[in-house]
Structure 1
Amino acid sequence: MTTSTPAPASRRIFAQATFETRAILRNGEQLLVTIILPAIVLVGLVATDVVSMDTGGLSRVDYVTPGVLALAVMATAFTSQAIATAFDRRNGVLRLLATTPLGRGGLVAGKVLGVLAVEVVQVLVLATTALFLGWSPDPSGLLAALVAVLLGTAAFTALALLIAGTMRAEGVLAVANLVLILLALGGGVIIPADHLPGILGPIVMALPSGALAEAMSAALVDGTFALGSLAILALWAAALSVLTARTFRWQ
């Protein structure tokens, strides 16, 4: 009688990450939210003056592209992941996967890697579109932008799992889309936090959306690390991860 042994952890996680990536890219609704919608926002803000803005001497494409990239990260790491996880949880998929050799830690790692893989596709599509529209980012800020994307992904994935692990799937569907719209319009993404009136600016800067957009702008426009914004993202990621670990229900 032969006994089978599970594949190495790295292979199991890679297989789950591949599945997560394909699930997002093959889902028409999620593809709309994660790639098509940010691309439409980018072209719309650059090619039209429907939204008036003070660009501080920058071209419109240089001004709005960092925020649109931040929006793309939020769409994948938060909205898409929250909805997918919530329905997997409702259908019992999470409970079953957690009992396999993949384990809970492997499942979460696979989801995070899947998000990062989709974000690579997003960046390629949006960056190509922006370059076609005349975007000229500061090359010295690419490392800072990468750090911002990683911290933003960690923070918004943790928030997605927090919501998906504590609410009914139908509620998550509504909340995730509503939160994305609110953060895009008033969370410092489309309209930078320093352009908001009164006390709203500092409040928005303390949100993960405002911190991510500010860090991306500093990286791609000025070629610098926005250490304060990156610290805010790191704090959000840590706090939300701890809260999610304590409250997440697998079924």
Structure 2
Amino acid sequence: MSSPPPTSTFAPRPGAAPLHRQVAAQARMESRLMLRNGEQLLLAIVIPVIVLVGGVAGADRLGLDLEGHRAVDVLTPGVLALAVMSTAFTSVAIATGFERRYGVIKRLGASPLPRHGLLLGKVLALLNVVALQLVSLVVVGLLLGWRPTLEHPAVSLASAVLAVAAGTWAFASLGLFVAGVLRAEAVLALANLVYLLLMAGGGVVLPTSSYGAASGAIQWLPSAALGDAMRSALVDAHLDATALLVLIAWGVVGTLLTARTFTWE
């Protein structure tokens, strides 16, 4: 009488992993790719730090209009907004543009990971990098003497979180729109050009009042809205509802444009 075959140690279970594990794996990979890219690290960390340190050091010589506040207290929230813009718009646009060019998104779209899972993974990776940026810049700001307002800490924190969330949505949707309609080389040039123009004259680092007669028009830009919202939260302990509505409007417009025009290859 023969004995029963031994139970196998291995039990193959063909099929896709649960969606949350797929999304988590995609987010980890996207985060590593963003942090390994030298150009994106330059945009994410190095340039904002240089702007913050240089602005604080040269504020007196430049005669900046800081509305009676210390330079470091006004510039730090603006540079935090600049960091969000650099990653959510410029980095997302450039990375997605080249992923379309090389067929990466097309191949991922044919994998067990559904397309909404792919986008969710990108969003989580983006939030991870933004969080790392903000922590790094907050440390630099504190070392330079930044003292965020402590009058209403809960209001300040909640307002800043809402501003970062709305700004990330607005700029990421616009970045995906640009990446979805232009060739990779054109995306690279346009995204960097827009970043430089908004950094210099978009009301993100400096208050919109610093731009004189042009401030009335600049305040409707997503860069100025994000900068104003961050300054209101961290300087005045106030929720700037108008700036948040401007960011939400840009987010809606960018999302609709991306949904209509984005192609996967």
- TM-score greater than 0.5 by the shorter chain: yes
Per the alignment, residue 7 of structure 1 pairs with 17
Count of aligned positions = 250
Per the alignment, residue 257 of structure 2 pairs with 243
Q: How do residues 166-205 of structure 1 correspond to structure 2 at under 5 angstroms?
A: 166-198=181-213, 200-205=214-219
Per the alignment, residue 32 of structure 2 pairs with 22
Per the alignment, residue 46 of structure 2 pairs with 36
Tell me if 1:114 matches 2:125. Answer: yes
- Cα distance between partner residues in 1 of 2:191 and 2:177: 11
Q: How far does residue 247 in structure 1 lie from its aligned partner after superposition?
A: 0.3
In structure 1, stretches of 5+ residues that fail to align are none
Q: What letter is aligned with 1:54? A: D
Q: How far does residue 2 in structure 1 lie from its aligned partner after superposition?
A: 5.8
Q: How do residues 97-136 of structure 1 correspond to structure 2 at under 5 angstroms?
A: 97-136=108-147
Q: Which whole-Å deviations, capped at 9, do the CAs of 1:12-63 have from their partners, x for residues lacking one?
A: 1111111111111111111111111101110000122453302222111001
- Cα distance between partner residues in 1 of 2:93 and 2:62: 29
- Cα distance between partner residues in 2 of 1:28 and 1:36: 10
TM-score normalized with structure 2 length: 0.91
Q: How far does residue 180 in structure 1 lie from its aligned partner after superposition?
A: 0.3
- Cα distance between partner residues in 1 of 2:57 and 2:254: 37
Structure 1 segments, 4+ long, off by >4 Å, are none
Q: How do residues 67-82 of structure 1 correspond to structure 2 at under 5 angstroms?
A: 67-82=78-93
In structure 2, stretches of 5+ residues that fail to align are 1-10
Q: What letter is aligned with 1:179? A: V
Q: Which whole-Å deviations, capped at 9, do the CAs of 1:189-246 have from their partners, x for residues lacking one?
A: 1232122222x21221111111100000000001111011001111111111011011
Give the share of equivalent positions with the same residue, in percent: 49
Q: How far does residue 138 in structure 1 lie from its aligned partner after superposition?
A: 2.1
- Cα distance between partner residues in 2 of 1:101 and 1:203: 46
